[in-house]
Amino acid sequence: MNRLARLARLGLAVGTAAVLAIGLTSSAEAATGNIRYFRASGEEARIDNPPDNVCINLRFRAQLLANNTNRTVAYYYNANCTNLTGVLAPGRAVSYAAPLSVRVLV
């Protein structure tokens, strides 16, 4: 019985190690490119290779928002991706929508 318990613990340890190894090697998906945004004063900020389906709060309310990624980007009037304002296809930009957060759509 003691040998069977040791064998079960060994199997559990090997299985756990395999799950952890597979889980750590898988990478999160991200859009390729950047999202650029500008204040009315001309100050620029950008988000390089933004992750998919993650809400990103902008540092300031954008007067101009440009999607230079390979994915569609949703933009929101409020922080924390609330109050959807619109979506931008890759290579498109919008001005005077005043977004405060964005999310890359998959």
Is 70 exceeded by the pLDDT of residue 4?
no
Domains of the chain, each with CATH number or no CATH: 33-104 (2.60.20)
Q: Which two tokens stand for residue 92?
A: 């498109």
CB 85 within 8 A of CB 101: no
DSSP code of residue 28:
P
Question: Which tens digit of pLDDT belongs to each residue from 28-78?
Answer: 689 999 999 999 999 999 999 999 999 999 999 999 999 999 999 999 999
Give this prediction's pTM. 0.73
